[in-house]
Amino acid sequence: MYRCVHDTLIRAHFGQALDLGTEIQKLSQAEVPKICRASMELKSGALMGLAMEVGGILGGVSEQRLDQLSKLGVSLGVSLQKFDDIGNIRAAESGDPLSEKRQEDLRNGGPTWIWGVVASTLDQSAYSNWVACFEKSEIQINKICQVLREHQIAEHAYEQASEELEKNIQEFVKTLGDAAVSDKIRSHWNQGIQIIRQIQERLNQAYG
């Protein structure tokens, strides 16, 4: 267990360094989604992966099962961060100005899910206009909100996040499917899957 915690702390520090040291607007459009993904996996993903792995260790599962639990945890952590990033820009949909807290990620220029979606959704010209909103000393919130609305970024971000979460849960269930579950622990397995589905539903309802 000490190794798991230690490894997670190292990954989280890498993620924090990436988060604080990256000026996302200075990267190429093609690089942005990869950097944003790495940041989410190393921070929120790593912490959730640790939580799942520790549960497996306490339950005495095999190394193979620990790896599968960790991967599911990383997926859940990344999804949580994605939905949180979506929540930070939802106010833009109705034209309301973003609160200071919701502006924080944009003002800091860090790698977020929204930046990743913008980079993968907009064409080169539109993306250049987006980046231009961040190149002055004071970012242009009104123009940013306009881009978010015009290109339906929140909708694209939510759809992609929901689809990936569903895919990862299905893969986990398939990998550790009924054939791998003994009758002795089947009730616990079913209860665990139910809890995972409840988490998924809460995320969808909270940010949908």
pLDDT in tens, 10-32: 999 999 999 889 989 999 999 99
Least confident range from 81-95, 106-120, 153-167, 173-187: namely 173-187
Q: Residue 106: exposed, middle, or buried by beta-carbon count in 10 A (0-12, 13-18, 19+)? A: buried
**Which has more pLDDT, 193 or 11?**
11
Return the pLDDT at 195.
Answer: 85
- Per-residue pLDDT averaged across 118-143, rounded? 88
pLDDT at 120: 96
Let me know: does 46 contact 15? Beta carbons within 8 Å. Answer: yes
Judged on CB neighbours under 10 Å (0-12, 13-18, 19+), 68 is: buried
Q: Quick one: tokens of 55?
A: 């549960």
User: 96-123, pLDDT tens digit by residue?
Assistant: 555 666 667 777 778 999 999 999 999 9
The pLDDT assigned to 177 comes to 62
- Predicted pLDDT at 24: 92
103-106: which pairs have CB atoms within 8 A and are 24 or more residues apart?
103/139, 103/141, 106/134, 106/139, 106/141, 106/144
pLDDT at residue 131 in the model = 93
Its pTM stands at: 0.84
Q: Which two structure tokens, joined as six digits, stand for 161?
A: 């996040």
Q: What is the 3-state secondary structure (H, E, C) of 126-192?
A: HHHHHHHCCCCCCCCHHHHHHHHHHCCHHHHHHHHHHHHHHHHHHHHHHHCCHHHCCCCCHHHHHHH
Contact predicate 200/169, CB 8 Å: yes
Q: Judging by beta carbons within 10 Å of its beta carbon (0-12, 13-18, 19+), is residue 90 exposed, middle or buried?
A: middle
Q: Are 114 and 157 in contact (CB under 8 A)?
A: yes
Residue 56 near residue 69, CB atoms below 8 Å: yes
> Mean pLDDT in the chain?
85
Average of pLDDT values for 76-105? 74
Fold of 2-207: Farnesyl Diphosphate Synthase (1.10.600)
